[in-house]
Structure 1
Amino acid sequence: MLLCVGAARAATPPPAPAVPLTRLDHILLWGRGIDQVTSVMAVKLGFQVRPGRDPGGVANRYIRFADSSFIELLGITRPNPTFDPGMKEDQQALKGGPGSRSFGFRSSSLDAIHRSLQALHYAVTPFFAGPDSAKPGWRLFAFDRAPLSSNTFFIDYAADYAPDQFDPGNTADHRVSREHPNGARELSSIWLVSGDAEADRRQLERMGFGHAVPVKLTAVGAKGFCVPVGPTALLALQPDGAGLAAKTMAEGGPRILGVSFGVSDLGRAQRWVERGYERALPTYRGLWGESVLAPSQDDLGLSIEFHAMQPARSPCAGAAVSQ
């Protein structure tokens, strides 16, 4: 599932049509080690972490949510691990430290999207399937050169694919595996940071994701655009004065700056993170309403935002509100 993702060649055809069933699916989050990142996510932040595999010296684990999205945790477990091209590129950019610079769009219309991007002269890869040829559970394509400041790919799954369960037919296990002590229920948005938010916005529009709305995130010192992707939002950001965004760019360059999660009880999530980090945390008015930002940058290389879940609405409806 970890592939090199790539970029667009210049072309003039009209933008590809956005597919209504497309949404943000997951991020790939590297830790300093698999146990370190698991501990931070579970103990300090209150997520339930599910088992994964360790096929070649790079272990993975999962944090799955009720809306079908997830986080894939990664960590090196032995010297000279076997990297695929995407892993190698991530590790070079992250310099072996924690962080994330790859994320996936999920769609049931992969073939149509693949054809549309080819027609626009994007350097898309062939399709890949896994976890094995006998019973592939997922199918994806990526890019030979990244069109955005962080790597991306498009993915979909077989209806019965459940990599973190021994018995995919056990619905009770399926439900419990998506319940978290911090109350997290859904992935709401992924925040990209680069030196040119407008360049990411243009590429997203060309790929079929238009309707961008200007946004300003005072909490991390960033500004840019909120781009709706189905029920989720992709934020294309750049530093806006001093702050976490500028610090991140100076120390590590373009990457995923943060991820937002809707929780059933914001007070519970806030208390969990305050106990985990042994400090009081203020709430603020964010893109999704009342929110709290976990001080996880040093541990994870990105920020985790929790917000109170909102009734169904446009994912960028709150973008005009200064955070």
Structure 2
Amino acid sequence: MRLLPFVSACLACFGVAQMSVAATAPPATRLDHVLLWGRGIDEVTSVMSVKLGFQVRPGRNPGGVANRYIRFADSSFIELLGVTRPDPRFDPGMKEDREALKEGPGARTFGFRSASLDTLRDSLAALHYAVTPFFTGPDSKKPGWRLFAFDFDRPPLSSNTFFIDYSPDYAPDQFDPTNKDDYRVTREHPNGARKLSSIWLVSGDAEADRRQLEKMGFGHAVPVKLPEAGAKGFCVPVGPTALLALQPDGEGLAAQAMARGGPRILGLSYGVADLGRAQRWVERGYERTLATYRGVSGESVLAPTQDDLGLSIEFHAMQRRGSSCPQ
């Protein structure tokens, strides 16, 4: 399955509005995955596997836009995308993302996962958000997922988003979903990455994103600063994960990203089993020494991936704490 065409089609569809009520995000909601464009599918695969130490799984290549997957033990994943021919069949969302990214690498779309999609959609519609009907896939005979999104012309956040859930046996990267060993090993990575901790959004107004997230039911924001990225803003808990709503704070990666093309996903943070191993892998891949620092998720290291991926990849030591944001 390739999610982006369906997601982008959703974003271009109809909106619904009802009377305003207070939103309450279902407790099962978490961040699910990011759609990451590379300059080409083989190049982005090489960066993610050789330089960063992720295991990349096969996808498909319909219409001249190929995809591949990086899946994690917590059920989150990264969907890699790349153009494979001069005249790809872009849907409106793809075309808009590619134009905003100036056909370079980067990400502008991410998804929330919720086991209570109907409740969440009703709540958002009642708050006058323009939300699409439900879409299902990969086919009508055996739908493995369903989703809804915000209207493409009226996105409330600085990056595009959608809300999705999956059937219990859905595993598009498995030839035999009943093979538990295959399922396990496809979520093991040489760099020790285990889980998605946070997605970092960057815009010119972090407070605007914070207000919208609170209206949706994602409150309890905590002010944060990311000196390593030249950013400041808010950490917003989303179940076991966190959404960072950021804006540039002086010179740095956030200001550079905005200058390249405006709001987008600035970075991704992943918990690893052994931070030293992840650091050594990235240092070998990029042939440079990296310093650790105390980040939002604890002791961390930032891979120098902006030129390759159009966003940053942060690895941090796994830790036990009650909240996905600092207290």
Deviation, structure 1 residue 52: 0.5
The question of whether the paired residues in 1 share the 8 Å contact of 2:16 and 2:131 is answered with: no
Amino acid at match of 2:78: I
Query: How much is the aligned-residue C-alpha RMSD, in angstroms?
Result: 1.6
Flag the 1:11–1:240 CA change in 2: closer, same or farther, 3 A. Answer: farther
Identity among equivalent pairs (%): 79
Amino acid at match of 1:224: G
Counterpart of 1:40? 47
Cα distance in structure 2, aligned partners of 1:264 and 1:311: 12
Counterpart of 1:23? 30
The question of whether the paired residues in 2 share the 8 Å contact of 1:15 and 1:205 is answered with: no
Cα distance in structure 2, aligned partners of 1:84 and 1:206: 30
Counterpart of 1:321? none
The question of whether the paired residues in 1 share the 8 Å contact of 2:21 and 2:123 is answered with: no
Flag the 1:203–1:11 CA change in 2: closer, same or farther, 3 A. Answer: farther
Cα distance in structure 1, aligned partners of 2:194 and 2:116: 25
Match of 2:280 among 247, 271, 277: 271
Cα distance in structure 1, aligned partners of 2:244 and 2:31: 11
The question of whether the paired residues in 2 share the 8 Å contact of 1:24 and 1:106 is answered with: yes
Per-residue CA deviation, residues 204-256 of structure 1 (Å, 9 max, x unaligned), is 00111001010000011100000000000000000001111011101121000
The question of whether the paired residues in 1 share the 8 Å contact of 2:17 and 2:126 is answered with: no
The DSSP-based 3-state class of the residue aligned with 1:68 is coil
Deviation, structure 1 residue 12: 8.4
The question of whether the paired residues in 2 share the 8 Å contact of 1:283 and 1:292 is answered with: yes
The question of whether the paired residues in 1 share the 8 Å contact of 2:300 and 2:317 is answered with: yes
Match of 1:124 among 112, 124, 131: 131
Counterpart of 1:59? 66
Per-residue CA deviation, residues 75-95 of structure 1 (Å, 9 max, x unaligned), is 011121111222111111111
Number of corresponding residues: 318
Counterpart of 1:181? 190
The question of whether the paired residues in 2 share the 8 Å contact of 1:192 and 1:237 is answered with: yes
Pairs within 5 Å for 1:86-101? 86-101=93-108
Say which is worse superposed, 170-179 or 90-99, in terms of deviation. Answer: 90-99
Pairs within 5 Å for 1:154-303? 154-303=163-312
Amino acid at match of 1:77: T
TM-score for the superposition, normalised by structure 2: 0.94
Cα distance in structure 2, aligned partners of 1:12 and 1:143: 17
Match of 1:72 among 79, 84, 108: 79
The DSSP-based 3-state class of the residue aligned with 2:258 is helix
Amino acid at match of 2:56: V
Deviation, structure 1 residue 172: 0.1
Say which is worse superposed, 84-93 or 10-19, in terms of deviation. Answer: 10-19
Per-residue CA deviation, residues 272-322 of structure 1 (Å, 9 max, x unaligned), is 00000000000000011100000000000000000000114201126xxxx
Per-residue CA deviation, residues 189-209 of structure 1 (Å, 9 max, x unaligned), is 000000000000000001110
Amino acid at match of 1:98: P
Deviation, structure 1 residue 133: 1.5
Deviation, structure 1 residue 8: 9.4
Q: After the TM superposition, which parts of structure 1 deviate over 6 Å for at least 4 consecutive aligned residues? A: 6-12
Cα distance in structure 1, aligned partners of 2:111 and 2:297: 21
Flag the 1:8–1:215 CA change in 2: closer, same or farther, 3 A. Answer: farther
Flag the 1:205–1:12 CA change in 2: closer, same or farther, 3 A. Answer: farther
Amino acid at match of 2:300: S
Amino acid at match of 2:63: G
Deviation, structure 1 residue 9: 9.9
Amino acid at match of 1:99: G
Flag the 1:9–1:95 CA change in 2: closer, same or farther, 3 A. Answer: farther
Per-residue CA deviation, residues 127-161 of structure 1 (Å, 9 max, x unaligned), is 11111112111100011121100000000001111
Cα distance in structure 2, aligned partners of 1:133 and 1:8: 23
The DSSP-based 3-state class of the residue aligned with 1:56 is helix
Cα distance in structure 2, aligned partners of 1:193 and 1:108: 27
Deviation, structure 1 residue 11: 9.3
Cα distance in structure 1, aligned partners of 2:284 and 2:38: 21
TM-score for the superposition, normalised by structure 1: 0.96
Runs of at least 5 residues in structure 1 that lack an aligned partner in the other structure: 319-323
Pairs within 5 Å for 1:96-115? 96-115=103-122
